[in-house]
Amino acid sequence: MSREVHNGPTDDNQARGTDTSGDAEGGEDAIALAQLPLDAWHRARGGRMVPFAGYEMPVQYEGIMAEHLWTRDHAGLFDVSHMGQLLFSGEAFDVALETLLPGEITGLGEGRMRYSLLLAENGGIHDDLMLTRLPAANAFEIEGGAIYMVVNGATKWDDLGVLREFLPDEVVINHLDEQALLALQGPQAVTALERVVPGVSALTFMTAAAFEWQGNPLWISRSGYTGEDGFEISLPGDAAEAFADALTAQPEVKPIGLGARDSLRLEAGLPLYGHDLDLETTPVAADLGFALSKRRREQGGFPGHARIMAERESGPIVKRVGLIVDGRQPVREGAMVLGSEGSEVGKVTSGGFAPSVQKPIAMAYVPLALATPGTRITLAQRGKVHSAEVVAMPFVPHRYVRKG
Amino acid sequence: MSRYYTEDHEWVEVDGDIGTVGISEYAQGQLGDIVFVEVPEEGKELTKGDDAAVVESVKAASDVYSPVSGTVIEGNDDLADNPALVNEDPEGDGWFFKLTLSDPDEIDGLMDEAKYAAFVAKL
């Protein structure tokens, strides 16, 4: 038995677009891997550790399927401490960030979050990220205003290079590499977290505020990467174990690995950098138009503005769509989309068996003519042809708790 | 009746010149939740080491190699509707296919249960 075709976030190099297989057992030359604050905690709970983004991380505990379904029904605790947490402060930090990101930052209210993209000169995507404008009361002891940003783990060092190169020296970048980051996701996340940190239920989707737990400052947002209601909690690394214990002591909460994180985000229709997004994809082709705010579209001043606006006008050549595959066999990243002549016209960028849908699903880039929901599509994988249908995403309805 | 194992974690149970093939308890544990299995069709000629079946977990697809040479006489149809059988009973009801051995001497190159247990213990 071999393991040779893979996808999902189990690979140190995938987000750099290198051609390696993300072996769930970490079957690649291990470079020196770093340990995260919860390393021993995961092992003590039976976490199967694999190399990912330069760290050893738990891909699963009891099993991906059970963890996935637990999160949809109850609450799952994810360690996402590998992700980069950055602070931007100093003179006109928000104006400066707008030169690299296409979203509304100067007009972003305190405690409000936005999804955004770090763009390359040609409109390609260096990374996707979340940013928040910090209020005076924040957990990071920073005064005079700042933007808190969370970027992908595998790309954080490259991102820092780009940010440092293009932002003026007056903007201070603080890499919070001592901070842990935990995500508590699922319909019972609010019940469990409110018990541990009273007051969090007042947050609504895409807002954040400072809290405290046993003398430790917490920065908590109501956001996540599963399509469920939930929270992301930034806290000092040396408090992470005790806090994770407090959360998993709640009957609603179980620890969840990276495997289920990937299947949950796929069902939620959320792209994964290094797979569904990279330097070759533009925000328009990736169907992330919502990240381009109206004022910024009109005024420009971000990398690739002209190309992105032209693409919005004429339509992209290919577009990211969701697929439900016929039958039961998963069609995964790397499979080809075939045109009527049998030639390759697009590619599958993420795919797998969807535990909550009980069908194989995928994301793919297909020519605009094939991108309408309901269109039948032919795929080829390892010499075998599969049929699929283009569907609107998400595959599982989002259950975010929005304001009023 | 005796059972032999490969270093790739397939097993073959030999009864006369008929072999039943599957993957080991260790292999199903490594794979995790199995969501799809493709077994070979009756009549397929297999040489030892050929790709004989495909097993897919939530995370990955793997090829299953034939531990011996022969002609397939039956694939396990139950796995199409219930691939989780491989997780539940990998060395029983979760078998993949049966074949007529063309070269029974091939089993001399395989591990018996005790050897395989020692092999897995070292992984």
Predicted confidence (pLDDT) at residue A20 exceeds the cutoff of 80: no
Q: What pLDDT, on a 0 to 100 scale, did the predictor assign at position A282?
A: 97
CB contact under 8 A, A24 and B32: yes
Predicted confidence (pLDDT) at residue A7 exceeds the cutoff of 50: no
Domain boundaries, chain B: 2-103
- Report residue A154's pLDDT band, with 50, 70 and 90 as the boundaries: very high
pLDDT average, residue stretch A54-62: 96
Separation of alpha carbons A123 and A120, rounded Å: 5
CB contact under 8 A, B32 and A63: yes
Separation of alpha carbons A363 and A348, rounded Å: 6
Give the mean pLDDT of chain A.
Answer: 93
- Report residue A404's pLDDT band, with 50, 70 and 90 as the boundaries: confident
Q: Dump pLDDT digits (tens) for A302-342.
A: 999 999 999 999 999 999 999 999 999 999 999 999 999 99
Q: Dump pLDDT digits (tens) for A252-301.
A: 999 999 999 999 999 999 999 999 999 999 999 999 999 999 999 999 99
* Cα dihedral A57→A63→A66→A71 (10° resolution): 0
Q: What pLDDT, on a 0 to 100 scale, did the predictor assign at position A32?
A: 80
CB contact under 8 A, B36 and A330: yes
CA A330 to chain centroid = 22
Q: What pLDDT, on a 0 to 100 scale, did the predictor assign at position A3?
A: 58
Chain B contact for A1 (CB, 8 A cutoff): yes
CA distance B112 to chain A (A): 17
CA distance B58 to chain A (A): 6
Q: For testing the chain A interface, which of B28, B51, B55, B58 should be mutated: the one with the most A CBs within 10 Å?
A: B58
Q: What pLDDT, on a 0 to 100 scale, did the predictor assign at position A1?
A: 82
Predicted confidence (pLDDT) at residue B123 exceeds the cutoff of 60: yes
A12 neighbors A31 (Cβ within 8 angstroms): yes
- Report residue B59's pLDDT band, with 50, 70 and 90 as the boundaries: confident
Q: Shortest CA distance to B111 belongs to which of B25, B36, B3, B38? A: B3
- The larger pLDDT score, comparing residue A6 to residue A193, is at A193
Separation of alpha carbons A235 and A216, rounded Å: 7
pLDDT average, residue stretch B87-99: 98
- Report residue A27's pLDDT band, with 50, 70 and 90 as the boundaries: very low
CB contact under 8 A, B35 and A328: yes
A395 neighbors A324 (Cβ within 8 angstroms): yes
Query: Chain A contacts of B30, Cβ < 8 Å?
Result: 25
* CA max distance for chain B: 37
Fold of B2-103: OB fold (Dihydrolipoamide Acetyltransferase, E2P) (2.40.50)
- Estimate the share of chain B in helix, then strand, then coil, as percent rounded to the nearest 5: 25, 40, 35
For helices A64-73 and A258-267, the axis angle rounded to 10 degrees is: 60
pLDDT average, residue stretch A9-36: 49
Which of A6, A328, A355 lies nearest to residue B60, judging by beta carbons? A6
CA distance B51 to chain A (A): 9
Least confident of A8-12, A96-100, A232-236, A315-319: A8-12
Query: Chain A contacts of B59, Cβ < 8 Å?
Result: 6-8, 10, 24, 59, 64, 259, 352
Size of interface A-B (CB pairs under 8 A): 78
Q: What pLDDT, on a 0 to 100 scale, did the predictor assign at position B1?
A: 67
Residue A261 makes CB contacts below 8 A (sequence gap 6+) with A9, A78, A80, A225, A226
Pairing of strands A75-79, A253-255: parallel
Q: What pLDDT, on a 0 to 100 scale, did the predictor assign at position A403?
A: 87
Predicted confidence (pLDDT) at residue A156 exceeds the cutoff of 70: yes
pLDDT average, residue stretch A76-90: 98
CB contact under 8 A, B63 and A64: no
Query: Chain A contacts of B49, Cβ < 8 Å?
Result: none
CA distance B80 to chain A (A): 8
CB contact under 8 A, A8 and B59: yes
pLDDT average, residue stretch A239-244: 98
Predicted confidence (pLDDT) at residue A385 exceeds the cutoff of 60: yes
Query: Chain A contacts of B80, Cβ < 8 Å?
Result: 328
% of chain A at pLDDT higher than 70:
93
Q: Where are the alpha helices (DSSP H) in A184-304?
A: 189-196, 240-248, 258-267, 294-299
- Restricting to B residues 41-70, those with a Cβ less than 8 Å away from any Cβ of A are 54-65
Q: Rounded to two decimals, what is the model's pTM?
A: 0.93
Predicted confidence (pLDDT) at residue A30 exceeds the cutoff of 90: no
Predicted confidence (pLDDT) at residue A83 exceeds the cutoff of 60: yes
